[in-house]
């Protein structure tokens, strides 16, 4: 166990809330920086569990520490004689993992399971012993961690290892918290391994564990893991970044002065706030150096402002933008719209009179705790409202804090046909760093990755039944399945009644979620004849024209003028209408709400008064949207004929994604029968909408 992880005296800098308690707490970010900037001596840890207990008590003053001491005694005695590859006693590893979690504020049950997380796998201790000594909750977590085998069996074992990890995490998110802390300590002590093994473990950490830490909101672990991976996989860039930070350390840092100015502004405004300067970690410095070029002193850190209430965050923002020059493009409000990993803060940047630009983060202390520790800060998500209620340890749990992305991972991992597909899709899914929420027509919600289409929404809501999806309404408007969705959209999915309907190969071009892509690919593989069929072959529309032309039943106040009803809005009695003189001396009649009316007036067309004849008959154009099926045109024509309406012309467009559009020009004996006609057409099986052109 390294001195950075075990000896608080090596790092005298304390967090402000801990100075009030009279002791210095460990800062994970500072520990990581110290480990990277150079080796330190290894000291024996006196009263090892005492440091864990003190760190835990800082977050949970009323916690029962006796259970931690009992867990430590069991772990120490069971691991006695075992050594790590670094030559240290093995007990230093569970102690270090537990200390990391204690610093993040994990509750007692998590810390107890963390101390015991390797005992069942590596010693003679059994799950029954753990259950008898520490209860079902600790046993459940230890069992979950034990089922996730060690990730050093070679590349072939990694997909199945992470599949087990996801399942265990889905049953209890605290399992992943322990595994992330476990990986962090292993990465800190990775120097004893061969370079090729270091590189392999670092790549897995980069591709999967760091994105999982980001998804779970555990930024304190994520940033240190990023720096450790950066040092192993990109040693030259790491060394140049290290030299850049070392050079900055010898220069005047403008951020403390800016922080003092901010404190003065907020104090004069009567806003109680704590202002800190937060140095950037190695990867962050490397990223901004690539985008900004030469860095200035204010680029090596950010100013963090902690307040008590949400409203104070916006009060601070107002003072900053009043007393400094704001950089508008840098403002982001993650309080009103939190990130998918629970993160909330206000981000802005201000320019000082000296020409420095300082990035500023404003959040409440509770937001800060969640931003650093993520799900670890949520405590026990499975605590029942009635403590006496007995829970079945074999029953699958429903995690009230389980984010939507984790539920999606758990759903599609069961359908992944082989380990390679699972591994490839897992990394692609974790690379998605933003999430949107769309509303279903029944009032429910769907969590989807940014850029998801209606196809993804269909499979998220209906599973394999989405094979028959042929269209969607987004915010009330009919759209194609390939349409992308935005945060807050309302989507209504339209399913075909034909059970043999299936997706086309083109759907894969628009599917973003693994569940959708795996389901579509599986269906196409099982229907090779349908997969090979082209759905995009151009076909001319089918047109049917009646023998009777029919005349307009509108009259213009212009002798001998030919009157035409506009095809863009197809007015019928008793619509309010307007007439305009067009080329050839004809008068075209529009509904007054038609957009063409304003265009006619704008170009100076002569307005002509028009009115309806006393006769009740009229001509109208209707659009019918339907699912493609045999005999649909005949059924629609029969429904129209039953209403006593004559078809003047009909056009049927080629099917698009299983949907067919019909355009009918009809002669009605009485305009009053139009609503009944439209209802009759909608009642035809397969027709889902009828509207006027």
- Catalytic positions: 121-122
- Note whether 56 and 17 are within 8 A (CB): no
CA angle 449, 426, 94 (to 5 degrees): 110
Torsion of CA 280, 284, 289, 295, to 10 degrees: -10
DSSP state for residue 668 in the 8-state scheme: E
State both tokens at 320: 């900053």
Cα atoms in the 13 Å half-sphere on the side-chain side of 137: 15
CA angle 148, 152, 154 (to 5 degrees): 110
State both tokens at 639: 């429904």
- Note whether 111 and 98 are within 8 A (CB): yes
Cis peptide leading into residue 574 (ω within 30°): yes
- Note whether 51 and 7 are within 8 A (CB): no
Torsion of CA 311, 315, 321, 323, to 10 degrees: -170
One-letter-per-residue 3-state SS of 298-332: HHHEEEEEEECCHHHHHHHHHHHHHHCEECHHHCE
- Note whether 661 and 653 are within 8 A (CB): yes
In sequence order, the 6+-apart residues with CB closer than 8 A to the CB of 240 are none
Question: Residue 54 — φ and ψ, nearest 5°?
Answer: -65, -40
CA angle 427, 428, 429 (to 5 degrees): 90
For the stretch 186-209, what's the b/e string if a residue is b when 16 or more beta carbons lie within 10 angstroms of its beta carbon? bbbbbeebeeeebebbbebbbbbb
In sequence order, the 6+-apart residues with CB closer than 8 A to the CB of 216 are 173, 176, 177, 180, 341, 374, 375
Helices 66-79, 108-115: inter-axial angle, 10-degree rounding: 10
Q: How far is CA 244 from CA 199, 241, 248, 289, 357, in A?
A: 24, 5, 6, 10, 19
Strand partners, 330: none
Question: Residue 640 — φ and ψ, nearest 5°?
Answer: -65, -45
CA–CA gap between residue 679 and residue 639 (Å, rounded)? 10
Q: Residue 620: which H helix or E strand, with range?
A: strand 618-627
State both tokens at 98: 């537990």
- Note whether 656 and 480 are within 8 A (CB): yes
SS3 388: coil
């Amino acid at each position: 166990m390294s001195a950075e992880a075990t000896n608080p005296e090596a790092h005298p800098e304390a967090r402000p809330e801990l100075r009030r308690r009279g002791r210095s707490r460990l800062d994970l970010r500072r520990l990581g920086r110290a480990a990277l900037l150079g080796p330190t001596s290894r000291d024996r840890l006196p009263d090892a569990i005492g440091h864990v207990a003190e760190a835990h008590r800082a977050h949970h003053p009323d916690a029962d520490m006796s259970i931690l001491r009992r867990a430590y005694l069991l772990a120490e005695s069971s691991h006695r004689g075992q050594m790590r590859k670094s030559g240290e006693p093995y007990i230093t590893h569970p102690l270090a993992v537990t200390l990391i979690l204690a610093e993040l504020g994990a509750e007692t049950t998590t810390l107890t399971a963390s101390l015991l997380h390797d005992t069942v796998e590596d010693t003679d201790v059994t799950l029954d012993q753990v259950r008898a000594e520490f209860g079902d909750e600790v046993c459940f977590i230890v069992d979950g961690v034990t089922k996730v085998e060690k990730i050093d069996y070679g590349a072939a074992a990694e997909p199945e290892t992470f599949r087990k990890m996801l399942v265990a995490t889905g049953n209890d998110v605290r399992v992943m918290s322990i595994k992330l802390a476990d990986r962090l300590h292993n990465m800190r002590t990775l120097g004893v391994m061969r370079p090729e093994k270091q590189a392999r473990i670092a790549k897995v950490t980069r591709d999967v564990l760091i994105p999982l830490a980001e998804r779970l909101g555990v930024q304190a672990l994520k940033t240190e893991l990023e720096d450790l991976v950066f040092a192993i996989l990109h040693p030259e860039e790491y060394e140049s970044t290290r030299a850049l930070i070392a050079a900055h350390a010898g220069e005047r840092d403008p951020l403390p002065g800016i922080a003092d100015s901010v404190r003065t502004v907020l104090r004069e405004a009567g806003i109680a706030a704590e202002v800190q300067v937060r140095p950037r970690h190695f990867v962050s410095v490397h990223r901004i150096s690539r985008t900004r070029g030469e860095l200035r002193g204010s680029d090596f850190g950010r100013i963090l402002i902690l307040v008590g209430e949400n409203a104070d965050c916006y009060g601070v923002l107002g003072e900053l933008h009043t007393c400094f020059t704001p950089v508008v493009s840098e403002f982001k409000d993650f309080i009103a719209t939190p990130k998918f990993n629970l993160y909330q803060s206000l981000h802005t940047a201000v320019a000082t009179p000296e020409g420095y630009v300082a990035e500023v983060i404003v959040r409440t202390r509770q937001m800060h705790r969640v931003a650093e520790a993520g799900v670890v800060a949520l405590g026990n998500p499975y605590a029942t409202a009635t403590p006496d209620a007995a829970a079945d340890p074999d029953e699958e749990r429903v995690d009230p804090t389980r984010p939507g992305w984790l539920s999606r991972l758990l759903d599609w991992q069961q359908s992944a046909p082989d380990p390679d597909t699972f591994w490839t899709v897992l990394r692609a899914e974790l690379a998605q760093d933003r999430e949107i929420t769309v509303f279903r027509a029944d009032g429910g919600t769907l969590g989807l990755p940014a850029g998801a289409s209606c196809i993804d929404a269909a499979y998220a809501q209906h599973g394999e039944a989405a094979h028959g999806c042929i269209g969607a309404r987004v915010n009330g408007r009919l759209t194609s399945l390939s349409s992308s969705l935005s945060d807050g959209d309302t989507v209504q999915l339209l399913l075909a009644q034909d059970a043999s309907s299936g997706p086309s190969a083109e759907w894969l071009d628009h599917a973003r979620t693994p569940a959708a892509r795996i389901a579509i690919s599986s269906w196409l593989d099982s229907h090779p004849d349908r997969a090979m069929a082209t759905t995009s072959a151009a076909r001319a529309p089918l047109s049917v024209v009646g023998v009777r032309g029919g005349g307009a039943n509108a009259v213009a106040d212009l002798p001998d003028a030919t009157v035409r009803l506009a095809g863009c809005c197809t007015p019928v009695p008793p619509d309010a209408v307007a007439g305009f003189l067009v080329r050839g001396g004809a008068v075209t009649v529009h509904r007054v709400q038609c957009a063409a009316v304003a265009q006619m007036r704008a170009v100076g067309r002569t307005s002509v008064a028009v009115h309806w004849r006393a006769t009740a008959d009229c001509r109208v154009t209707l659009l019918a949207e339907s699912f493609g099926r045999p005999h649909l045109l005949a059924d629609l024509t029969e429904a129209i004929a039953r209403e006593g309406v004559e078809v003047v012309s009909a056009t049927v467009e080629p099917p698009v994604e299983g949907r067919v559009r019909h355009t009918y020009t009809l002669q009605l004996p009485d305009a009053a029968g139009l609503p009944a006609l439209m209802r009759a057409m909608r009642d035809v099986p397969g027709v889902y909408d009828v509207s006027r052109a």
